Amino acid sequence: MGNDALVIAPIAGLLGLAFSLYLAYTTLKNSPGTAKMADISRAIQTGASTFLKREYRVIGLVALLFAPILALVLNPYVMVTFFVGVLCSALSGVIGMTIATRTNSRTTYAARDGLHRALNVAFSGGAVMGMAVLSLGTLGISGTYLFFEKIGGTPDPLSVITGYSIGASFIAIFIRIGGGIFTKAADMGADLVGKVEFGIPEDDPRNAAVIADQVGDNVGDVAGMGADLNQSFTDTLISSLLLGAGAHGIGGAVLGAKSLVFPLLVVANGILASTLGILIIKLLSSKSRIKVDNILRAGMLSSGVISSAGVFLIAKFYMGDTGLFFAVVSGLLTGILVGLNTEYYTYKKPIRLIVESTETGPATTIISGLAVGLESTVLSMTVLALGLIIAHHFAGLYGIALAGIGMLSILGLNISTDAFGPIADNAGGIAQMSGQDPHIREVTDKLDAVGNTTAAMGKAFAASATAAAALSLLTAYSEAAQVGVLDIRDVRVMGGLLIGGVLPALFSSIVIRSVSQAAQLMVTEVRRQFKEIPGLLEGKARPDYDRCVDIATRGALGHLVQPCLLAIGIPFVIVFVLGKEALAGLLAGCIVTGIFLALFMANAGGAWDNAKKLIEAGQMGGKGSLAHKASVIGDTVGDPLKDTAGPALDILVQLVATVSLAFAPLFLRILG
């Protein structure tokens, strides 16, 4: 191949990483706040890094056991790229978490100078992670590809780079599930005892689970979300490289080597667009006249426009095929529309239905939330299907992969705006715990609310990109395993489709149970401390925060391995019992119900959450009313759905697809 333009990607990756480090430096230059703020922040830092260390130890161990299998049944090069994938992904997680847990008290302190100052600090902290994920992913994948191309000889770079994909999925599934269980066990444990049994407010320092809850925001919402999008990015990019190999342009001409370069140029261009978008937001946040959500919107919009303009230029002048541009942009537009649909169902008219149904108690609240959640998936999936069909129209199967790239073309901004929500949430907790003036909490609450909207957007992008990436991987798998026609009337394909259709259900069920069990332990511990520590409820004694962090940590780590083994093991079982066609069917079924359930859980959970917030803002009798109680129950039901099981489904779908693809040569060797 040897196309010179290929080196642009790793260079862009390095520059993006440098920008990320620069952002980290400027963020840390802000004051960490008063001694008390810094003290609480330190406790959160310690809890988070202890959890991450223990989690990485488990991951490392499993990775070390798993890697030799890759080397033995596939080849040693795949093992090498696997470790590169693991390292790049783990590193972006460490960078993101380290800065996020140090930005929280800095945001609290900055909130004294107003909303815009707080936004600037919180957003910069989140952007560190955004740029780190985007840059390390681009650098890792393009670097790996170039390395194997340069050394030449036996391994075709495209055939070994699937190892990188498995590595990234590996980290993602552990971090997403682990973080998800941690955060919801702590959150539910804190609420069920603190709010419900003792009637003390959220983030009250007397609640032993309160630090664990704060740590959870970081390990779940920051690190978990980052890992999720990191994997989507990795899988999308790698599948576009694989499909690019034999891709045809609009005129039917084989695009050849350039079709491999195109996706890498698009993501390099995305690094530039994200950098500019971040700088625009930072610049605008000094103008206090402009509303905070408009600032974020302006940043995302300009990033999208810059990205699209760049893609157009690359498609027209380098590739000589504007169809590729339309494929990428149809992906971007699909992501935006799915995001807007999510916003509609979780913030607008539909949640009125939930708010009104709180009047007749928790049962009707739950029922109406389920109805809203179910309905919310319809437009999203339809738009997704149409977007993929349009992308396919412009560039065939390659176009589907490109649509995925398009969905992630403003990834840097997406992650940045996602990550600042939990930072603002943490900042609010620190304000409460350090006894700041209530107006500081008001500022961080406003930021948190804005962050919720952008986070819902991010989830929609992640689910859409998952669909595009998984479909591309399905195609790549069937080529690698040399399966012929995959007719849905073929009973093996249909059998796979039915079994794949319930795989996300099994996975969700396991994850939801794990959260319940861990939360139960947390409830017992918080109750015990209130009973056994004299003077705790009166505020005269300090609870043992560390024990709660430890319980959440052990709860999360203890429930990690089972769902991961399921995701990794199921392709082998299916392929050796029912054949290669059944595995393709399983992937398709898993995509359909996986994306459906992910959207359903995210949106139902979001809708309950926001219905509760509307009531807390005074509707239906406000806080303390029976309607409020019903809405709190709705929110609690939604918690493990929207923050643990739902987002983990994206990763399940991609991990199953990645494992199938990576081991396709083995299946081919054994089954012929």
597-626: contacts with a second copy (CB under 8 A): 600
Question: Does position 268 bind a second copy by CB under 8 A?
Answer: no
175, 55 Cβ separation under 8 angstroms: yes
How many other CB atoms are there within 10 angstroms of residue 498's CB atom?
12
Closer to a second copy at the Cβ: 128 or 632?
A: 632
Is 493 among the residues that bind a second copy (CB under 8 A)? yes
- Tell me which residue of 419, 441, 325, 410 sits closest to 93, measured CA to CA: 419
Closest Cα partner for 161 from 255, 233, 238, 68? 238
Nearer to a second copy, 388 or 415 (CB): 388
149 binds a second copy (CB under 8 A): no
Rounded Cα gap, residues 42 and 30, in angstroms: 15
Closer to a second copy by Cβ: residue 72 or 491:
491
Restricted to residues 201-230, the positions that interact with a second copy (CB under 8 A) are none
CB of 224 or CB of 638, closer to a second copy: 638
Site for a second copy in 49-78 (CB under 8 A): none
- Position 378 contacts a second copy (CB under 8 A): yes
CB of 357 to a second copy, least distance (A): 7
Structure tokens at 203: 């983030």
Q: Which is nearer to a second copy, 290 or 363 (CB)?
A: 363
Residue of 40, 136, 177, 633 that binds a second copy (CB under 8 A): 633
Give the DSSP letter of residue 2. Answer: -
Binders of a second copy among residues 566 to 585 (CB under 8 A) are 578, 584-585
In this structure, are residues 10 and 143 in contact, taking their beta carbons and an 8 Å threshold?
Answer: yes
CB of 247 to a second copy, least distance (A): 14
Choosing from 181, 247, 384, 557, the residue that interacts with a second copy (CB under 8 A) is: 384
Distant-in-sequence, close-in-space partners of 402: CB < 8 Å, separation ≥ 6:
240, 262, 263, 266, 324, 327, 328, 331, 391, 395
Site for a second copy in 494-513 (CB under 8 A): 494-499, 501-503, 505-506, 508-510, 512-513
The per-residue b/e assignment along 208-221, b for 16 or more CB within 10 angstroms, e otherwise, is bbbbbbbbbbbbbb
**Closer Cβ to a second copy, 209 or 227, answer by number:** 209
Please list every residue from 341 through 360 that binds a second copy, using CB under 8 A.
353, 357, 360
The reply on whether position 309 binds a second copy by CB under 8 A is no
- Contact between 596 and a second copy by CB under 8 A: the answer reads yes
Is 246 an interacting residue with respect to a second copy (CB under 8 A)? no
For residue 521, give Cα distances in angstroms to 450, 518, 529, 639, 642.
Answer: 33, 5, 13, 17, 21
Confirm if 84 and 238 have CB atoms less than 8 A apart: no
| Shortest distance (Å) from residue 587 CB to a second copy | 9
Distance CA 542, CA 91 (A): 35
Q: Is residue 593 within the footprint of a second copy (CB under 8 A)?
A: yes
Footprint (CB under 8 A) of a second copy, residues 225-244: none
Residue 190 touches a second copy, criterion: CB under 8 A: no
Q: Which is nearer to a second copy, 305 or 626 (CB)?
A: 626
Within 10 A of 626 (CB to CB), how many other CB atoms are there?
A: 14
Question: Minimum CB separation from a second copy for residue 599, in Å?
Answer: 9
Residues 420-479 that bind a second copy (CB under 8 A): 467, 471, 474-475, 478
Query: What is the C-alpha separation between 317 and 295, in angstroms, rounded?
Result: 33
Question: Which is closer to a second copy, CB of 454 or CB of 603?
Answer: 603
Quick one: 600 or 667, whose CB is closer to a second copy?
600
Structure tokens at 503: 């795989």
Least distance from a second copy to the Cβ atom of residue 359, Å: 9
Work out the number of other CB atoms within 10 angstroms of the CB of residue 620: 18
Return the number of the residue (16 or 571) whose C-beta is nearest a second copy: 571
- Nearest residue (CB) to a second copy, 268 versus 568: 568
Size of the site for a second copy (CB under 8 A): 81
Other C-beta atoms within 10 Å of 392: how many? 18
Distance CA 266, CA 328 (A): 9
Bridge partners (DSSP) of residue 254 are 248
